């Protein structure tokens, strides 16, 4: 019971947010209208966007492989990334991020703590790009001065985070010396924290390699463009009058919605963000929700197919990976709080 209450502090806020958003969506949406819009959608266009959803996942794997200095095979990066997204769709605490680092470490021979920083860098740059898209999209939305300020604040915070990681990567030995000096009283912290920090800083070294970082940004921006086109096609299938510039705001909002604490897979937050971002352009909340649900379906489709293939290749199951990740988390907790 005590363990349940401790864990509830982590998942309960997200669950409350998801439930409230789902309730709000149910209140404002006419489900009959939504169903009619789904039946009347252009399925030829939707098929094209479905293909692009797989192209996006393949591009995301290339982004990650580049950050990893091409050490793992592309196929390993692709299936591990897909497995991570699949885990995030069904498991709590965003365990998919830890999961893909854990699974790739088993395939590639790279250290888990060396892989993890690349996921942090990827997520930070994702948020910077989504903030930029949101700000660009706000020029097409009226009365959005408050949202613009939020976008500037979030974008600035993400840039500051990148700058801090760059400084740590450039001053690796200094950071290690400071850590050992401050943790001198706790031998267990020096033993386990020091080795993790050393591997973490090694992973951050990608930020100090200018050519490698430019390659990473190229693949990242290209992958975001694929996402923009895919979302545009989904929207076009339901709203023939859709304009491409709408999707700057919609995709930026979707990315931020996915970062809000919620139930696994961003239930409620993703749908709420996409449908709310579309509403100023369409004035049709019900059909906008149909667009959001279709995008959600594609997220399940590409991660389900590629992630499922990856799990089968390795003889793994979702429940098995979940148990391994929880064991990993418990081991880390015991190392940080050893019994006396």
Closest of 104, 97, 102 to residue 120, by C-alpha: 97
DSSP labels for 174-242? HHHHHHHHHTTT-HHHHHHHHHHHHHHHHHHGGGG-HHHHHHHHHHHHHHHHHHHHHHHHHHHHH-TT-
Would you state the pLDDT for residue 66?
Answer: 94
The angle formed by the CA atoms of residues 298, 36 and 247, to the nearest 5 degrees, is 45
Query: What backbone phi and psi angles, to 5 degrees, belong to 70?
Result: 60, 20
Would you state the pLDDT for residue 339?
Answer: 46
The Cβ-side half-sphere exposure at 264, using a 13 Å CA radius, reads 14
Give the three-class secondary structure for 247. helix
Would you state the pLDDT for residue 332?
Answer: 56
Alpha carbon separation from 182 to 186, 187, 192, 333 (Å, rounded): 9, 11, 14, 20
Residue 263 bridge partners (DSSP): 267
CB 325 within 8 A of CB 99: yes
Dist. CA 209–CA 191, nearest whole Å: 29
What is the pTM (predicted TM-score) of this model?
Answer: 0.80
Would you state the pLDDT for residue 262?
Answer: 60
Give the three-class secondary structure for 267. strand
pLDDT in tens, the chain (340 residues): 555 445 555 555 656 766 777 777 777 788 899 999 999 999 999 999 999 999 999 999 999 999 999 999 999 999 999 999 998 888 766 778 888 998 999 888 888 878 888 888 888 788 888 888 887 787 777 655 555 566 566 667 667 777 777 787 778 778 777 877 776 666 666 655 666 676 667 667 777 787 888 899 899 999 999 999 999 999 999 999 999 999 999 998 888 776 665 666 667 788 888 998 999 899 998 999 999 999 999 989 999 999 999 988 888 877 788 788 777 666 655 544 544 4
Would you state the pLDDT for residue 94?
Answer: 72
Would you state the pLDDT for residue 196?
Answer: 62
Would you state the pLDDT for residue 135?
Answer: 79
For residue 131, how many other CB atoms are within 10 A of its CB? Answer: 23
Would you state the pLDDT for residue 188?
Answer: 61
Dist. CA 91–CA 85, nearest whole Å: 10
Would you state the pLDDT for residue 30?
Answer: 85
Which tokens go with 245?
Answer: 């510039």
Would you state the pLDDT for residue 131?
Answer: 81
Would you state the pLDDT for residue 4?
Answer: 45
| Per-state percent for the chain, helix, strand, coil, to nearest 5 | 85, 0, 15
Residue 267 bridge partners (DSSP): 263
**8-state DSSP, 266:** G
Which tokens go with 7?
Answer: 């864990």
Dist. CA 78–CA 74, nearest whole Å: 6
Dist. CA 325–CA 318, nearest whole Å: 11
Dist. CA 290–CA 238, nearest whole Å: 8
Beta strands in 46-161 (DSSP E): none
Would you state the pLDDT for residue 292?
Answer: 92
Would you state the pLDDT for residue 184?
Answer: 66
């Amino acid at each position: 019971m005590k363990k349940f209450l401790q864990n509830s502090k982590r998942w309960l806020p997200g669950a409350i947010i998801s439930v409230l958003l789902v309730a709000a969506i149910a209140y404002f949406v006419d489900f009959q209208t939504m169903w009619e819009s789904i039946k009347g959608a252009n399925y030829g266009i939707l098929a094209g966007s479905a293909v692009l959803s797989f192209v996006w996942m393949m591009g995301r794997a290339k982004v990650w492989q580049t950050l990893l200095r091409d050490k793992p095979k592309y196929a390993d990066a692709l299936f591990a990334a897909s497995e991570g997204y699949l885990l995030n769709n069904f498991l709590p605490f965003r365990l998919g991020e830890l999961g893909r680092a854990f699974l790739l470490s088993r395939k590639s021979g790279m250290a888990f703590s060396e892989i993890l920083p690349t996921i942090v860098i990827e997520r930070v740059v994702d948020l910077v790009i989504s903030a930029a898209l949101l700000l660009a999209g706000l020029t097409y939305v009226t009365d959005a001065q408050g949202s613009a300020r939020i976008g500037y604040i979030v974008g600035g915070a993400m840039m500051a985070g990148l700058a801090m990681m760059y400084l740590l990567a450039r001053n690796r030995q200094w950071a290690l010396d400071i850590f050992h000096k401050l943790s001198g009283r706790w031998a267990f912290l020096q033993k386990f924290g020091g080795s993790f920090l050393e591997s973490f800083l090694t992973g951050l070294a990608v930020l100090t390699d200018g050519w490698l970082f430019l390659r990473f940004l190229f693949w990242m921006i290209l992958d975001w463009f694929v996402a923009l086109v895919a979302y545009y096609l989904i929207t076009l299938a339901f709203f023939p009058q859709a304009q491409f510039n709408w999707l700057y705001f919609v995709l930026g909002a979707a990315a931020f919605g996915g970062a809000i604490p919620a139930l696994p897979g961003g239930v409620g937050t993703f749908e709420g963000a996409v449908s709310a971002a579309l509403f100023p352009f369409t004035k049709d909340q019900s059909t906008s929700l149909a667009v959001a649900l279709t995008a959600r379906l594609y997220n399940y489709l590409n991660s389900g197919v590629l992630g499922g293939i990856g799990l089968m290749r390795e003889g793994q199951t979702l429940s098995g990976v979940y148990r391994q990740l929880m064991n990993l988390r418990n081991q880390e907790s015991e190392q940080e709080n050893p019994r006396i």
